[in-house]
A = this chain, B = another copy of it.
Amino acid sequence: MLDEDVKTQARSHTKCASCPVRHRAVCARANSDELTLLDSVKFYKTYQAGQTIALRGDPLEVLSSVVSGTATLSQSMEDGRTQIVGLLLPSDFIGRPGRDTVAHDVTAVTEVTLCCFRRKPFENLLVNMPHVQVRLLEMTLDDLDAARDWMLLLGRKTAREKIASFLLLIAHRSVANAEKTLANEVRIELPLSRETMATYLGLTIETVSRQFTALRKDGLISLDGTRSVFVPDVAALAAEVGDGE
C-alpha cells in the first residue's frame, strides 16, 4: 500500500457502533467481544480520487473494508489493455488473509475511506473471531458469484446489454442500504466515468458513449449532465439485459 499523499485526517478513528457499514462489512456478525478486538487494531485511511491504493505484486500488509467511496480492482496486460475485475463499494473487503502479495491493482475512483487492519495481527485475531471468519468466507463466496455473473456479461452480452446490466447493478447496489427492492423509476448517480465504465464492461469509451445515446433516444433513460441517469421504467430497462442478473 502507498502511504504518500494520504490526508492527515485520514487516520482518525471512528467508533464501530456508528460505522455506516457496521452491519454489512466483514464485521457484520461480530459480537461485542470480537468488535472490541477489531476496534483496538483498526485505523482509517482516506485516498483521493484517482490515487493508487495498491499494485499487483506489492507486499500485502494491510487488509481493509471500504467505508465510503468507490474503488476498482483491475488487471492489466503489458500493452496496457486493462480489465476491471471488481467494483469496491462501501462494505466490500480488500485483501486476502493468507496471501503475502497483492493480487490485483486497487484504485480509488472517488474519494475513498478504508477501515484498515495490519494483515498479520488481523490473521492472528481471526482464530478468535469465528463470526468474522464465517462472514469472510460468505463475502468471498458472494464475490465469486459476482465475478462469475460478470464473466457471462463479458463473454456473451452485447454492448447494449452490458450497459443496461451495469445501470441496473448500480441501481441495486445503491439502494442496498435501505430495502432490496427497486421502484418503477429510479435516479442513478454513476460513480464511474465513461472511461472507467468501459474498462469495467470490456468496451471502449466510444461504444459506452454511443450506447448511452442509443438508450436515451429509445426513451429508456434520460441524462442530467453526464453522471446522473434517470430510468423512467426499470422493467423496460431490465428487458434489455437478456437475463441472468
Measured CB to CB, the residues of A under 8 A from B are: 73, 75-79, 81-83, 85-86, 96-99, 103-104, 133-134, 136-138, 140-141, 143-145, 147-152, 154-157, 201-202, 242-244
- Among residues of B, the one whose C-beta sits closest to the C-beta of A74 is B152
A150–B156 Cα distance when bound, in Å, is: 13
Considering the complex, give the chain B residue whose CB is closest to the CB of A77.
Answer: B243
Q: In the bound complex, how far is the Cα of B88 from the Cα of A148, in angstroms?
A: 14
State whether B242 touches A156 (Cβ < 8 A): no
CB–CB A78/B133 < 8 A: no
Q: Are B77 and A242 in contact (CB under 8 A)?
A: yes
**Which of B77, B83, B141, B152 contacts A99, CB < 8 Å?**
B141
Contacts of A96 in B (CB 8 A): 141
Contact, CB under 8 Å: B154 / A151 = yes
Of A81, A150, A152, A155, chain B has the most CB atoms within 10 Å of the CB of A155
A104-B148 contact in complex given A140-B140, A141-B98, A242-B77, C-beta closer than 8 Å: yes
Q: A149 — nearest CB in chain B belongs to which residue? A: B75
A15 to chain B, nearest CB (A): 29
Give the CA-CA distance A140 to B140 in the complex, in Å.
Answer: 7
Nearest 10 interchain pairs by C-beta: A155-B202, A85-B148, A154-B154, A147-B147, A77-B243, A83-B155, A154-B155, A83-B152, A78-B243, A81-B156
Give every chain B residue within 8 A of A83 (Cβ-Cβ).
151-152, 155-156
A86 to B144 Cα, complex, angstroms: 11
**Contacting residues, chain B, for A201 (C-beta < 8 A):** 155
Docked pose: A81 CA to B81 CA in angstroms: 26
Contact of A77 among B150, B154, B156 (CB under 8 A): B156
Q: Contacts A137-B140, A141-B99, A144-B140: A152 and B75 contacting too (C-beta < 8 A)?
A: yes
Query: What residue in chain B is nearest A79 (Cβ atoms)?
Result: B242
